[in-house]
Chains A and B, each alone.
Chain A
Amino acid sequence: MSREFVEGAEALARAAIDAGCRFFAGYPMTPFTEVLDHMAEKLPAAGGVCINAESELEAVGMAWGALATGARAATGSVGQGLSLMQESFSEITRAELPLVVFNMARGQSDYFQSTRGGGHGDYYHIILCPIDIHEAIDHVHLAFDLADHWRNPVQIYGDYLLGHTWESVDLSPRPSAPLPPKHWALDGSLNGTGRARNINSLGMTKGAKGIDPESFWNRLQGKFRRIQSAEARIETEFTEDALYIAAAFGTAAKFVRHVVREMRREGYRIGYVRPITLWPFPADAFKQAARGVREVGVFELNGGQMIEDVRLSLLGDAPAVSIGGISSDTSGFGVGSLLNTARIREILERNYARVAARRAA
């Protein structure tokens, strides 16, 4: 293993290229811009194409076309740009194309946008939410593999902190499994046989007149249920005898995990839970981890979004209380004053004391 000191945005781009990504299109917006910069610089040398699209609408369209040929392709943006891409996201999902999306969010305000599909229709994207660059590199490889395996878009939910932190990581090339056969990819070979391919979001096939939206829709829902039972991932620490659990996601969880470890060393019966996949949300494992706890504190830097999934997971076993909040720097990039271990320590101590006192009473 060889380690090097790399900034997050560069690590994401290099991991994507190593994972076989050969097409990338994007439109600048901080902190996604930095990923785009590295792709523009490095992808052509790897035999790929990176287009500086004229808009997010066009970036996602270009990725759609590239995916249709069977190539590994990706795009990305920030919440605003992803909002523009939503019409295409939902159709690409229904067309079952393996898109990878780099969401370099401005903080944690876009949990709903990512986990609820975001666009029209009845669909989900797999959302991988790394805590640090080391995990993000694994997630990039995983994202392309899962996208191909499930024929479903996969999003990496990163942020400014992930893109701009430097870490010592291993970026040496990984052996790549052969790409799964893509019988559906367009190459013109079936033209004129009556069976040419039609990549569409309605379940249309050549030769068959009309569509059957209901059975197509049901088939997709079946796939989402299988993804839910197969792909939920979670990280937990010290939950066995915990009285209180602090839950967090993404880079903010790194601060929370640090504080929980510190408090554990000092004898607090506190545990830590982090959903690694925001969708599918690891509901069963979360419920399991929270068995016997008196309260779950949800530390997220927004008005309270993930807490809905936490409550749906706990199903009333324990109360979930919001302990994060809105916290932003003046630039709006989402690195606010709550991202501070001293403040988190103070929040956790206060809530722990309240719960412990209630137990004693």
Chain B
Amino acid sequence: MSVIDTTRPPSEPARQKWDTRPKLLIDGDHDLCPGCGEPIALRCMLEVIDEMGLSQSAIGAVGIGCYTALTSLLDTDMVQCLHGRAPSVATGIKRMRPQSLVYTMQGDGDMVNEGLQEIIHSAARGESITCLLLNNGVFGETGGHMTATTVIGQRTKNTLEGRDAAYHGHPISMTDLLTPLGGVGYVARSTVTTARDIQRTRRYFRKAFETQVAGKGLSFVEVLTMCPTGWFLPVQEGPSYLNETMSPVFRIGEFKVDGQIFTPGA
């Protein structure tokens, strides 16, 4: 392990916060909770768009959830969509501006509950858009209610004793639904619990956007995000809770690349 030498001044001057800020992020406060995973995932995406030199062509379609509050800092042209309806709006944008890089940002409540048919149909149609799912297994915004991705046993505001399969049904895995569809080019799932996971998330975003630029079908990146508030946990327990309860159900990795189906870890 390398030890930082503090006896001499650093070879590079300290960088200011805004020197490391992605160009597409406005410098300012956001209204999300401490320990929330959503801002990290959004930042990853914006950094990648920047790095790929696509900043001037990105247009977003954003759903309704906690991440909606991030749009005041999100410096790409965008449409604030209705709950669940972003993929159709993104379709209209992309069909009229095929040269733009069109992305959607939705939560699990937005995409998997309210608007499930939208993402499935857009995927089957092979719309050349990149869809981001911020999956925290709850409606964070309404105060931590069960969604269609809440895992069995998970406690939420309306499953106080934990989600019971016999009573509340089973969670839906979006990667399972989307991977087999012909119109889909890229499917991956990551998390933002550690620096390594964040790097992987950035890698997946890059591949997703490359898929869009190459016109190889819809690209989908799901990011499991911490929601300590909605999970009723102390902030610092968010990442370990995610790794212990969600990751075993929602496998991390790439499921489809360039239209080829993979089994992560196989």
Contacts and interface: CB of A to CB of B under 8 A. Distances in A.
Interface of A: 22-23, 25, 49, 51, 53-55, 57-69, 71, 73, 87-88, 91, 95, 186-194, 196-202, 204, 206-210
Contacts of A190: 77
A197 B95 contact: no
B24 A192 contact: yes
Contact of A69 (B75, B82, B96): B96
B159 interface: no
Contacts of A207: 26, 72
Interface in B56-91: 56-59, 61, 71-72, 74-82, 85, 87-91
Residues of B in contact with A, size category: 35 or more
Given A63-B92, A71-B96, A186 B79 contact: yes
A88 B110 CA distance: 15
A64 B87 CA distance: 11
Interface in B102-152: 117-118, 121
17 contacts: A22-B96, A49-B96, A54-B121, A57-B85, A57-B88, A58-B117, A58-B118, A59-B88, A63-B92, A68-B79, A188-B55, A193-B75, A194-B75, A198-B80, A200-B79, A209-B72, A210-B72
Contact of A191 (B61, B75, B81): B75
Contact of A23 (B59, B78, B85, B92): B92
A53 B71 CA distance: 28
Q: Closest 6 A-B residue pairs measured CB to CB?
A: A65-B92, A61-B88, A200-B80, A66-B92, A65-B89, A186-B77
A191 B56 contact: yes
Contacts of B211: none
Nearest to A62: B92
B78 A186 contact: yes
A265 B94 CA distance: 58
Contacts of B79: 64-65, 68, 95, 186, 198-200
B23 interface: yes
A202 B82 contact: no
A54 B117 contact: yes
A60 B91 CA distance: 11
B28 interface: yes
A61 B59 contact: no
Contacts of B92: 23, 25, 61-69, 73
Interface in B7-24: 23-24
A190 to B, nearest CB: 7
Q: Which of B79, B93, B117 is the most central at the interface, judged by chain A CB atoms within 10 Å of its CB?
A: B79
